[in-house]
Structure 1
Amino acid sequence: MELYSIMDMLLPFDWARYTFMKHAFLAILLVTPLFGLLSTMVVSNRMAFFSDSLGHGAFTGIAIGVLLGAVSPLVSLVLFSVAFAVFITYIKNKSTASTDTIIGVFSSTAIALGLMIMSHGGGFNKFSSYLIGDVLSITAEDLQALLLVVLVVLGGWALLFNRLLVLSLNSAFARSRGINTFWVESLFAAILAVVVAISIQWVGILIINALLVLPAAAARNVTNNVKAYQLLSVLIALGAGLMGLLLAYYWNMAAGATIVVISAGVFFITLALKSRFRR
């Protein structure tokens, strides 16, 4: 309750009177910087299509949780998403087929399997909210889980960053430097999967991939070094998240979609400015 009292003093706005808005505001402060940070490696390692497939795989994780009769599908969602991400990485490294083909096969299979399980017995409508998400539904318990995820992800990021940076330059060069590319890719894929799984109920399957691409894509247009690239990506994600939440509240719109549209707007602005910063 002390935290809420501090927020009341720091945020003298009408929306801050509501507990659900306080929860949503704190969630945005926690999760959007993660999206901005992870987004830099998703873009640098050309993993946009892969991150999109994680959303499809997460839907199957929800369906499996429902099938097993879980009260909350979150556990099965996280476990399946991590397994799905690591398995794609394994097949991608072992198969001679092109990466986009492998990801496309797994992605389409996962979403079809999830829909098939969900639609059995007319149970799909109960979980259709996962397609759109609702950041205003976050509870205090969700925030505690989200804080734990943030700490774990930041720890994993600190361990993997240098290896991921080398891997983003050239995988053969990374191997020559003694980096086990498969395990680095797998761990990063698992981190992505956890963030997607924990966030999908608030952001929505249909648009979560945009939050893993747009912040870094926008930052990359106007930056020339790694530190500026990461910092700007985090700031864009955070700014779009806060602005999207407030616009969604005042205009009665879906917060996740509003955040994505603002992020897209920033991308097009930086794209127009790209030539000035790339001279």
Structure 2
Amino acid sequence: MPDCPPLLAPLLSLFGAVPLDCLQLRFMQQALLGLLLLCPMTAALGVQVVHFRMAFFSDAIGHSAFAGAALGLMLAVDPMLAMPFFGVLVGLAVMAVQRRSALSSDTAIGIVFSAVVAFGLAVVSRAPGMARTVQQFLYGDILTISANELVMLALLGLAALIFQIAGYNRLLLIALNPIMARASGIRVALWQYLFAGLTALVVMFAVRAVGVLLVTALLIVPAAAARHFARTAGGLFWWAQLISVTSGVAGLLLSAQPWLATASGATIILVACLWFALGALLRHDAVE
């Protein structure tokens, strides 16, 4: 693996030792590592997105990937650099509109979402040749993730881990009662902007895995499914982690089987939805 960073080579070799034909392929090993890095982040942030009642937020950020990629192509900038930068700007703009107006979070997100989509379409309309290139972000493809992107994802995962350790309880209190959080000495605005920026970055990588059309599901479905199994706030976090990681791994491996041969992103979300259906069924039986 000459083009693989030294820190990643042992992990990829470990995946190759698994007795599955699909994991003998380099791109499948990189895809699996990418999902193992990405899914814990989307699970943790998905729980907080649900707490903040901002499910539409990830959709707005996901669609900003389309606009960011188009803008990057127009300015001759690598779309993989333009997308995160533009996504963070959109995330911060959503939080700013929400904080500085009397609008509800859904309304604020809807306004920014509309502006982002219209901007992306306007940019693409100026250069119709971009449409085919930008279209790949609609569906995503974790199988094409590069070694450099894995390194970036690992660094983002480290930042997300530090953020969760420092801010999980603070964000939970802010979601429950921002006035009480402010009275407790928590810098509410700072944590909300940090949350928006980090979520935007994670969503940009999630678009790489499942595409704009399914990026919201990658955040929301595991968190929603976890509610069926968890009894505490801490339990909700860990159940979301379990559901997200198992959905990512199982979805990737299933999609690679010749008898199924489906898109990996769609299969990952379908496995997560099966978790949700199982939880709903078990909870219904428990209630009865």
Q: Deviations over 1:140-186 (max 9, x none)?
A: 12211111111111112222112101112111211221222221111
Q: Please list, as runs of the form range in 1=range in 2, the aligned pairs for 1:1-279 lying within 5 A after superposition.
A: 1=1, 2-3=9-10, 4-9=12-17, 11-70=18-77, 72-122=78-128, 123-250=130-257, 251-275=260-284
Alignment size in residue pairs:
277
Seq. identity, %: 35
When normalised by structure 1's length, the TM-score is 0.94
User: How much does 1:88 deviate?
Assistant: 1.1
Equivalents in 1 of 2:41, 2:53: separation in Å? 18
Checking the alignment, whether the CA contact within 8 Å between 1:174 and 1:181 is kept in structure 2 is: yes
* Structure 2 gap segments, 5+ residues each: 2-8
User: How much does 1:116 deviate?
Assistant: 2.0
Equivalents in 1 of 2:81, 2:167: separation in Å? 25
Equivalents in 1 of 2:195, 2:245: separation in Å? 21
Bigger mean CA offset, 40-49 vs 117-126? 117-126
Q: Which residue of 1 aligns with 2:6?
A: none
Bigger mean CA offset, 127-136 vs 162-171? 162-171
When normalised by structure 2's length, the TM-score is 0.91
CA RMSD of aligned residues (A): 1.6
Aligned residue type for 2:14: I
Aligned residue type for 2:256: Y
User: How much does 1:138 deviate?
Assistant: 1.1
User: How much does 1:120 deviate?
Assistant: 2.4
User: How much does 1:276 deviate?
Assistant: 5.7
User: How much does 1:277 deviate?
Assistant: 6.0
